[in-house]
């Protein structure tokens, strides 16, 4: 049964259309959020465990690498003892988890101190890059999908659909190289590396956002076409409403739910993809820092950055679920 075409519930589909269950009253909402927080904590703990044991399996002697090529065996043994590498693995794991609970990410052997302040210095650059990519996704992907749906099977739809397929087929690092070659090397319009102002954001954010723009455009197109064929849209047309008015008043809110789902779930892709893009554009973010840390066997920095990525992903997914509650009032009142 379709949703009513008038009143506050206009254009909302049946309850099974939504990704989250309807919640009756504030108490149910708080219980729902509490369960989501517990789930996030459990996932974070599992990821911390997996990351620790994966790093412990990396071949090579961390102490020998950090001591340097000219070090004696006695110096290497002393460094291994000071790092606690001679302790049983479970003891090292317990010490690691206990330290994380106190906010202690260990000691960086490169910086010779707590790595967290150095990581925090680089977070704004990564947030700027990721935020710019999400902004481009919203500004380009959603309108492109709506236009494609409104001109279904016509030239705008065919053009946008071809562009979507092309963007999905191109890896972001290869697109980044193309953008660098064209706009930085040949034309000289934009900076090629580092951060020297807002213009430096354009190329890396375009390379990072390209795939997500294509995914959001395709999702928006498909959902919009489906919604435009429903009874409440035909009823609105019979009342004399124009296509744009129907789209903005009734269809758009239905379209936003799966679109937010895609953006939220793909945020992890943006964070992971930012590691490659930051390296390619010499962007001073935590992704580039993590690659350097792995190459230098600075596991304290590498683990801290990985954990921050995971926590950021969990927080963003929780925010997306909160947005569900705001966009769909039936989840709060059903």
pLDDT confidence band for 329 (50 / 70 / 90): low
Domains in the chain, number:
2
219/266 Cα distance (integer angstroms): 13
Q: What is the mean pLDDT of residues 93-105?
A: 80
Give, in order, the Cα–Cα distances in Å from 190 to each of 181, 182, 202, 280, 332. Answer: 11, 10, 8, 15, 48
Co-location of 32 and 163 in the same domain: no
Q: What is the mean pLDDT of residues 69-90?
A: 74
* Domain hosting residue 258, numbered range: 120-331
pLDDT confidence band for 16 (50 / 70 / 90): very low
Q: Looking at the predicted structure, is the pLDDT value of residue 217 above 70?
A: yes
25-29, 111-115, 162-166, 219-223: the lowest-pLDDT one: 25-29
Q: Which of 101, 128, 160 is the last residue of a domain?
A: 101
Residue 60 confidence (pLDDT):
65
Whether residue 110 is contained in a domain is answered as no
Q: Which of 101, 131, 147 is the last residue of a domain?
A: 101
Q: Buried b / exposed e across 218-251, counting CB within 10 Å, b at 16+?
A: bbbbebbbebbebebbebbeeeeeeeeebbeebb
215/141 Cα distance (integer angstroms): 8
Bigger pLDDT: 12 vs 29: 29
155/136 Cα distance (integer angstroms): 23
Co-location of 143 and 189 in the same domain: yes
Q: What is the mean pLDDT of residues 234-263?
A: 75
Co-location of 169 and 81 in the same domain: no
Residue 321 confidence (pLDDT):
73
Co-location of 91 and 149 in the same domain: no
Residue 21 confidence (pLDDT):
52
What dihedral angle (degrees, nearest 10) is formed by the CA atoms of 60, 63, 66, 68? -90
Bigger pLDDT: 288 vs 221: 221
pLDDT confidence band for 331 (50 / 70 / 90): low
Those residues whose C-beta lies under 8 Å from the C-beta of residue 25, and which sit 6 or more positions away, are 332
Nearest to 152 by CA among 231, 242, 223: 223
User: Which of the listed ranges 3-7, 155-159, 168-172, 317-321 does the model predict with the highest average pLDDT?
Assistant: 155-159
Residue 231 confidence (pLDDT):
77
Co-location of 232 and 307 in the same domain: yes
pLDDT confidence band for 4 (50 / 70 / 90): very low
Structure tokens at 72: 């004696």
Whether residue 114 is contained in a domain is answered as no
Co-location of 223 and 265 in the same domain: yes
Residue 66 confidence (pLDDT):
66
User: Which of the listed ranges 93-102, 104-113, 128-137, 282-291 does the model predict with the highest average pLDDT?
Assistant: 128-137
């Amino acid at each position: 049964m379709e949703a009513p075409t008038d009143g506050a519930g206009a254009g909302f589909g049946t309850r099974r259309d939504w990704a989250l269950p309807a919640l009756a009253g504030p108490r149910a909402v708080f219980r729902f959020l509490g369960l989501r927080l517990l789930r996030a904590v459990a996932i974070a703990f599992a990821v911390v465990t997996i990351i620790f044991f994966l790093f412990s399996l990396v071949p090579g002697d961390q102490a020998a690498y950090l001591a340097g090529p000219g070090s004696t065996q006695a110096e290497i043994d002393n460094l291994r003892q000071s790092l606690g590498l001679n302790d049983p693995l479970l003891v090292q794991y317990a010490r690691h988890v206990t330290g994380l609970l106190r906010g202690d990410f260990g000691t960086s052997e490169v910086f010779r101190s707590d790595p967290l302040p150095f990581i925090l210095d680089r977070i704004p650059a990564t947030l700027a890059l990721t935020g710019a990519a999400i902004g481009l996704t919203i500004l380009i992907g959603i309108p492109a999908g709506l236009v494609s749906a409104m001109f279904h099977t016509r030239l705008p739809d065919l053009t946008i659909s071809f562009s979507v397929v092309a963007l999905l087929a191109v890896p972001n690092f290869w697109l980044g190289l193309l953008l660098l070659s064209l706009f930085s090397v040949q034309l000289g319009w934009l900076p090629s590396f580092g951060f020297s102002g807002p213009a430096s954001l354009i190329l890396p954010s375009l390379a990072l956002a390209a795939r997500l723009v294509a995914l959001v455009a395709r999702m928006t197109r498909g959902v919009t076409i489906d919604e435009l064929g429903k009874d409440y849209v035909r009823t609105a047309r019979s009342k004399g409403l124009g296509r744009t008015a129907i789209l903005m008043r009734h269809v758009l809110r239905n379209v936003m739910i799966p679109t937010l789902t895609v953006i939220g779930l793909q945020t992890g892709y943006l964070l992971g993809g930012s590691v490659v893009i930051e390296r390619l554009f010499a962007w001073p973010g935590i992704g580039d820092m993590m690659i350097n840390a792995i190459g230098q066997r600075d596991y304290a920095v590498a683990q801290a950055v990985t954990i921050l990525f995971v926590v950021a992903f969990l927080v963003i997914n929780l925010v997306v679920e909160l947005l569900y509650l705001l966009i769909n009032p039936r989840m709060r009142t059903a």
